[in-house]
Amino acid sequence: MPAHNLCMQIQQTEQAQRAQQAQQSDRAQFIRSLRSVRRFAPTPIPDDILREVLDIGRWTGSSKNTQPWQVVVVRDRDRLRDLATCGTFAGHLAGAAVGLVLVMEDDNRRLDEGRLAQNLMLAAWAYGIGTCIGTLQPEANVERAKQLLGIPLERGVRTTLSVGYPADPQALRGSAGGVQPGRKPMADFLRWETFSDA
């Protein structure tokens, strides 16, 4: 192979590697940019985008691929306001364009429930749509939410997501209800090999 062809091949390979690294960095930054949004604009979410978000959520992995869930989509304003009273920190549902209620086969699917919630949040964020988890509690409120939505009593219902376009740039930055922004330092987060090895 002539030297100039080899040189061109090396340059093309290096360019492709740089482009791939840039894409990987963009994806990592996208994941880091996810924030809880508790204040929403009155803008409705188009049906095709909402369906795409839900379809991405449908592909969430689960233990042994059991897919132990259904999602109830709530758009009715009165129903959203009622749901907002079913949890200590679920008030943001009242102002959301959509509420997603994660219905699990039973109350013992918390890991799968969390995976589904996070994937739905990331899927929505890919379209510029904000979300926030609302936990239904205590038990009397859970039962009330099940009655409101016609969910069988034996199903697990703890997690809701308020979904909507952020009200303004501050909705992505501010803290609410005493929640502090930011993350703990890596030194406080990470341990190597054993817990005591900082």
Global pTM? Answer: 0.85
Hey, what domains does the chain have and what are their CATH numbers? 47-172 (3.40.109.10)
Would you state the structure tokens that stand for residue 127, as one six-digit string?
């379209």
What does the pLDDT average to over 72-96? 97
Report the alpha-carbon distance of residue 151 to residue 157 in Å, rounded.
Answer: 9
State how beta strands 98-104 and 130-135 pair: unpaired
Band of pLDDT at residue 91, cut at 50, 70 and 90 = very high
Q: What is the mean pLDDT of the chain?
A: 90
Q: Hey, what amino acid is at 184?
A: K
**No. of helices (H) and no. of strands (E), the chain:** 6, 4
pLDDT at residue 13 in the model: 76
